[in-house]
Chain A
């Protein structure tokens, strides 16, 4: 009996040490927690050049812009990088009609409303606060709760796909003078991706759903760099670390712990005959 207890303790000790060692060497990835509030998905605080003497950090609400524009318009046509500090937004670039200023020029109209001019110096500083709004109560014009009140919701805030299907939102995909005029998209067929682990049903990947918002060049080759299928092997660990699907899911789209979002048939033991 006593030998058994010692043996068990030894096994537990070895497992514990192995686990800690693996964690320490980055061999095991723990999922990064998704944003706590739906309004925080994709929220960016821009504080590269605006502090301490300037008007203060900019708060960028991803939800507000994604309710009006496709991902591609901003991340391809206008050139907003998908990683922090890579775009190089400055007041001067906005004034020249790039970055925020590509749309926020005081002239363009979306939904019948004129945009305000970013970094134009007009408005006696009042307009500055619309973006440079960190810790400034009441500075922002739109609040998540009231703005999204009529949009369909899912577990993780607004269900954008359902919102578009129901014509609650109509995403703009091009801006004159900025976007390149393209031919209508030749949608690629949906396909399934074999799961890396045998207890999970395959992923059903909808090319159509993704391409309609992202275009082709937002995902290929930057996020999915190789056309060879075998390169996606073991990608769940990489997803959790922000690569592949994790480049968006968990940051601006529903998080990776929403397993059924990608593996709609779930684990194999639930119902393998479905």
Chain B
């Protein structure tokens, strides 16, 4: 009944409809992606900011490294769309601020 060409066209259209053609408009971020599916900036953000709870256990050298990572990540966040930029820059500012605070406190302890 079906010619091979028709089968290919139908299959291609179906596959494209399932996920091959991006939707128009601004993509809405998914809220619960596995870590492996997150964008590189997001994985780096999560890794940096997941350490705030035990910031006091880090050495000054480790804290300095975390602060450097925050500074390196910032330009990447500045390229995001307006809302994500604002939210994640603010969150990064808080993480960085805490690490700098703990670093200062450790340096004061050693004086």
Q: Which residues of A are interface residues toward B (Cβ below 8 A)?
A: 76-79, 81, 88, 92-93, 95-98, 102, 105, 176-178, 180-186, 188, 215-218, 220-222, 225-228
Contacts and interface: CB of A to CB of B under 8 A. Distances in A.
B69 to A, nearest CB: 14
Interface in B38-68: 45-46, 49-57
B14 interface: no
B77 interface: no
A185 B53 contact: yes
Interface residues of B, number: 34
Contact of B53 (A79, A81, A88, A184): A184
Contacts, number: 85
Name the prevailing secondary structure of the B interface residues: helix
Given A180-B49, A182-B50, A222-B97, A216 B29 contact: no
Contacts of B87: 78-79, 98
B71 interface: no
B100 A96 contact: no
A27 B30 CA distance: 51
B76 interface: no
Most buried by B among A185, A188, A227: A227
A186 B56 contact: yes
A216 B63 CA distance: 15
